């Protein structure tokens, strides 16, 4: 069946786009978490070489990846806000005053705060990019040499950042909210994609909790470990 523009902007179309973009972003942060775990090994060369490879050795793929990430982020935000807005207009009583509809409605703290946790994750992502991607680099003396190649010392920056208690607290709060967002978003995305089956749904619901815990804890463990060990080396 061909996808027309009126289908895309229908409630179902928006939920579909929201689900696809959300799961794609989840794929990115899962890969990002795995890559960042190398920080905990204390192997600064491995971490810096990994960052250098992504930025300087992936050629045109880097642009596809970065622009793709921006498009998916925007798509996810626009469709989420639009679906949320439609619900506000359609529903006179606020979410808070509505009782849970039981197991089938899955009304939880996570599901009723999606728009707020999403907004905070956006703030976090922007600040995170300012700190790391656009933070101190070679020009500010953050340079190292790995296997004879001069590159940005992202390892030094990461350790310095996470030794500051303010960053630690902020990363704990933001990533707990990220976990809360994923806890409902994961399951809900599969519902929007039509995977609604008495046998699949409970499994996806539980899997969502596991994925949320992995992501939330994973991103909290990295700054916490660095902070409490006073660095990693």
In angstroms, give the least distance from the CB of 36 to ligand HEM: 4
* Number of residues lying near ligand HEM (CB under 6 A): 23
Residue span binding ligand HEM (CB under 6 A) among the ranges 89-97, 138-146, 194-202, 215-223: 215-223
Asked whether the beta carbons of 21 and 75 are under 8 A apart, the reply is yes
| Near ligand HEM by CB under 6 A: residue from 64, 129, 203, 213 | 129
Residues 22-61 that bind ligand HEM (CB under 6 A): 29, 32, 36, 39, 51, 54-55
Closest CB to ligand HEM among residues 81, 120? 120
Asked whether the beta carbons of 83 and 118 are under 8 A apart, the reply is no
Task: Work out whether 219 is an interface residue with ligand HEM (CB under 6 A).
Answer: yes
Task: Work out whether 81 is an interface residue with ligand HEM (CB under 6 A).
Answer: no
Closest CB to ligand HEM among residues 90, 147? 147
In angstroms, give the least distance from the CB of 230 to ligand HEM: 17
| Near ligand HEM by CB under 6 A: residue from 168, 182, 222, 232 | 222
Ramachandran class of 47: left when φ > 0, alpha when ψ lies in -120 to 50, beta otherwise: alpha
Q: CA-CA distance, 25 to 9, in Å (whole number)?
A: 21
Residues 97-126 that bind ligand HEM (CB under 6 A): 121, 125
CA distances from 172 to 28, 126, 127 (A): 20, 16, 14
Residues 145-184 that bind ligand HEM (CB under 6 A): 154, 158, 171, 175, 178
**136, HSE (Cβ side, Cα atoms, 13 Å):** 13
Q: CA-CA distance, 195 to 3, in Å (whole number)?
A: 19
In angstroms, give the least distance from the CB of 66 to ligand HEM: 5
Sign of the dihedral defined by the CA atoms of residues 148, 153, 154, 155, in that order: positive
Task: Work out whether 132 is an interface residue with ligand HEM (CB under 6 A).
Answer: yes
Sign of the dihedral defined by the CA atoms of residues 66, 6, 191, 97, in that order: positive
> Which helix (H) or strand (E) segment is 150 a member of?
strand 149-152
Q: CA-CA distance, 53 to 67, in Å (whole number)?
A: 18
Task: Work out whether 66 is an interface residue with ligand HEM (CB under 6 A).
Answer: yes
Can you give the binding site for ligand HEM, defined by CB under 6 A?
Answer: 29, 32, 36, 39, 51, 54-55, 66, 69, 121, 125, 128-129, 132-133, 154, 158, 171, 175, 178, 219, 222-223
């Amino acid at each position: 069946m061909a996808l027309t523009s009126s289908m895309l902007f229908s409630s179902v179309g928006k939920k579909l786009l929201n689900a696809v973009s959300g799961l794609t972003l989840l794929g990115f942060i899962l890969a990002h978490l795995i890559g960042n775990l190398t920080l905990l090994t204390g192997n600064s060369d491995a971490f810096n070489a990994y960052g250098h490879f992504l930025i300087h050795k992936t050629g045109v793929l880097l642009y596809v990846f970065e622009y793709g990430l921006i498009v998916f982020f925007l798509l996810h935000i626009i469709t989420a806000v639009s679906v949320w807005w439609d619900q506000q207009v359609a529903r006179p009583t606020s979410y808070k005053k509505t009782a849970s509809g039981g197991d089938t409605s899955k009304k939880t703290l996570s599901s009723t705060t999606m728009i707020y946790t999403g907004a905070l994750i956006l703030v976090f992502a922007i600040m995170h990019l300012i700190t790391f991607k656009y933070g101190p680099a070679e020009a500010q003396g953050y340079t190292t040499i790995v296997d004879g190649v001069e590159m940005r010392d992202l390892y030094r920056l990461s350790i310095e950042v996470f030794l500051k208690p303010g960053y630690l607290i902020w990363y704990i709060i933001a990533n707990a909210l990220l976990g809360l967002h994923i806890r409902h978003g994961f399951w809900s995305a599969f519902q929007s994609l039509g995977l609604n089956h008495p046998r699949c749904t409970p499994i996806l619901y539980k899997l969502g909790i596991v994925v949320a815990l992995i992501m939330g804890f994973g991103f909290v463990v990295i700054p916490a470990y660095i902070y409490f060990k006073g660095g990693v080396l």
